[in-house]
Structure 1
Amino acid sequence: MNTFGSLFRLTTFGESHGPALGAVVDGCPAGVPLLREQLQAALDRRRPGQSTITTARSEPDTVEILSGVFEDKTLGTPIAAMVRNTNQRSGDYDKLKAEDRPGHADAVWRERFKHRDHRGGGRTSGRETLSRVIGGTIAEAYLARDLPSLSTVAYVSQVGNLVAQVPSPGLTRALVDAHPTRCPDASVRDEMSRRILVAKEAGDSLGGSIDVRVEGLPVGLGEPVFGKLKALIAQALGSIGAVTGVLWGPPDLLERIGQPGLAFHSVKDAYGGVQGGLANGEPLQVRAYFKPPATLAEHAKGGRHDPCIMPRAVPVLEAMVSLVIADLVLQMNARPHTP
């Protein structure tokens, strides 16, 4: 189960402390403009060592395109891209050959597979998400060609018990990236940074949430019954290791859900952009909840782990949502259109 998607397919490979990690994308149409610099810019948003509130592991995450692109356009053949690991400290994990970390997947992987890579968690490491960012960036390149009005922007909406105000329409990635927390709310983001730093120094961690807003989806995107747009996005976001819950709809949905039907259905954005499993023309809105990272105490104080994963996870969520949309657009285009 290392492949995601039906027609637009992403396969990820590699381990946290192996020679490299990467992605193979199959199903991307030919002729899509794609530069190596696009992939690099996306990976730079996810890479470690961005600021004092993230892990101190220093990786340039330099991407190499191995196949599927010629003269800066996709060929319609499998696109393979790779990032070599350069800053592993595998010796830090020697004791984990015999010990299992609380809150991690060490014990269940040993029980399930009888053999595992203990260095940094192997495939269970958050470093695997760089492969998803590669795939999502290729999906976005395809969508930019065929759906130029589409916009997918994620932002940190909560850290600990600090909750950001809902931003106005027209939010851009540049505005989100303007602060290390990737929270666009100026009234709470500095305090978010301070609390993350306090947790980092104490060997503690913080969870929270990320909101994703998609504008410009074609009406009817999605497949009825088992291929509902909201179901596929839930699968995509739920496959990210640190995600512990997914909520569709506007940010205040939990408050609205207690309303009588006349009040609830009188607001057009109550459905989060999805009705009957299909896009309804309104902005798609979804929230992913993140548990606090499980690396704690003295092991966390070494500085090689994120005390709060959300700032670096923003481009990962955007990537996974873009992969779902690209796959559904291909499926919709493959169906015969009746007059």
Structure 2
Amino acid sequence: MTGDRHTQVVIVGGGQSGLAAGYHLRRLGLDFVILDAQSDPGGAWRHTWDSLRLFSPAAFSSLPGRLMPPQRGEEYPDAPHVAAYLRDYEKRYELPVERPVRVLGVHRDGGLLRVETDSGTWHTRVVISATGTWWRPFLPAVRGRADFGGRQLHTVEYRRPQDFAGRRVIVVGGGNSGAQIAADLAYDSELTWVTQRPPRFLADDIDGRALFDAATARRRALDEGRTDTGGVASLGDIVAVPPVREARDRGLLKASPMFSRLTRDGVEWADGTRAEADAIIWSTGFRPALSHLAPLQLRGRRGHIAVEGTRVVNEPRLYLLGYGDWTGPASATLIGVGRPARDTARQVAESLS
């Protein structure tokens, strides 16, 4: 549909954060729409690698209002199971999602915000941006990256270990994605796993439940002016989900320090040691996907948008939800986004009244 349309609230993004916000806005009786650039429900979970597993059991990986059902035969659900849950969630609560609709820009327009899309214009009093980070992969500036003659790909492009069977593969990254992909490739590929610092595995009995509690405790301590607890970072970097634990225990996840440059045939360390490679997989993280907010000119030094809670300081009609701890403790996770989504919806309702 094209043309100008009006609503109280526009949510940009139909993944887990957008749906959680929609759930709470619906309970408060507000008029809203969710604009999702994807052709089908499920958010980024539809685009992950085949072996990806949640860090927590289903019951501890749920959005507000509805527990995720367990996946038969799996303690930690896979990505298709999560995508199916999000599809059911959207349908169950009759959330008004329009897709595929790509938001091109959010503009100030008098007392309203104007949301320009590829299928028309929305005028609204409030925008909740919930686009996540998956759509903006980060690649570090490493010397010689353009010289490498093999294949380079980011986590977002990796799918299955069979694509690299018998190949020499370097996985770069010491977080969960890097560890899980390295574990995937450890059996049938000639793997080199490279990390910026020695990998820190969390204790085997720690999963997403403990991580959420740690992130919440840290945020509470900081808000109350107490000593920083360190949050999740104090526990470690890598959740030992079963595939990672198995590869680690078999001695297949031995990390090398970060190399200094890429060569045409592979990589080279500062001491002159080299390793040849057919492919390099960069599991080097993401940045918030916020290009649609560029017309508002909100970025400060270092590109940061200042928020109080989830509300943008320099544009109080705009909220950022689900981008990480800076928009709510563990807000980029299924279990963690519920509380900041609830608080955001309440703030929105107050501002509209």
- TM-score with structure 1 setting the length: 0.32
Bigger radius of gyration among the two:
2
**Larger helix fraction of residues:** 1
- TM-score with structure 2 setting the length: 0.31
